[in-house]
Amino acid sequence: MTNYITSYCHILSNECWINGKKIALQNSDDDITKQLYNYLEMDYPKFFKMDRLSKTAFLGVELIKNNNLALLNYQDDEVGLLFSNPISSAETDLNFKKSYQDGGMPSPASFVYTLPNILLGEIAIRNKWYGESVFTVSENFDAAYFLSYCNILLNKYQEAVLCGWINNKNGNNETFLFLVEKEDLNQLNLQLSLEQLNELFRKK
């Protein structure tokens, strides 16, 4: 069975691309998450309570949705989520630890995000997607893992799988999200394969 990458997105520290096209952002002095939130003209107050890991994944999904409206037509249990990164929620863990080491009270808002799979919950709640969801930790982007797991999910359980590599290590942002479906609905002509995933990951 052939599956297709129907949308993909890169988010770096101060730049963003969707399906290979650079997005024109207004204010490069702002954090990339704030720039993208404004670009998307969102009204979602809960966004501002999220940690940076969740914000980045959340925005990437919104960009992909905007460029693949067919994604909105699936049933709530037909969309799976498959995400990975190299450091789990380490950045938020350190912020939470610092909040009480400095003599203050531990921050409940930070504690909520000391598990990386919380970002899956944020995406699922926003979109009412209740399919399979997995978050793993890997030292590097593992195209073989995404390829294998996507094919399993699409063969047995899901009609579409949203995948993401979210690396916020050392304050930098390296995010690659992509949507895999059974049909080439966006006509990008990108068959899901090891070579194609590695090429798109490197491509901006």
Domain that holds residue 14: 4-202
pLDDT for 8 beyond 90: yes
Q: Which of 195, 86, 66 is closest to 135 using CA atoms?
A: 86
Q: Which three-class secondary structure state does DSSP give residue 52?
A: helix
**Count of C-beta atoms within a 10 Å radius of residue 86:** 16
**Residue 101 backbone dihedrals phi, psi, to 5 degrees:** -70, -30
Name the DSSP class of 28.
Answer: T
Name the DSSP class of 71.
Answer: G
pLDDT at position 25 is 86
Q: Which three-class secondary structure state does DSSP give residue 186?
A: coil
Where residue 30 sits, what CATH number does that domain have? 3.40.47.10
- Kindly report the pTM of this predicted structure: 0.88
pLDDT for 90 beyond 60: no
Number of domains the chain is built from: 1
pLDDT for 105 beyond 70: no
Q: Give the 3-state DSSP-derived string for 130-169, with helices as H, strands as E and coil as C.
A: CCCEEEEECCCCCHHHHHHHHHHHHHHCCCEEEEEEEECH
How far apart (Å, rounded) are the C-alpha atoms in residues 105 and 132? 36
How far apart (Å, rounded) are the C-alpha atoms in residues 13 and 2? 34
Q: Which of 24, 36, 2, 78 is closest to 177 using CA atoms?
A: 36
pLDDT for 108 beyond 60: no
pLDDT at position 116 is 66
Name the residue type at position 75. Answer: Q
Q: How confident is the model at residue 106 (pLDDT cuts 50, 70, 90)?
A: low
Taking only the tens place, the pLDDT of each residue in 113-172 is: 555 678 898 999 999 999 999 999 888 999 999 999 999 999 989 999 999 999 887 667
Q: Which three-class secondary structure state does DSSP give residue 79?
A: strand
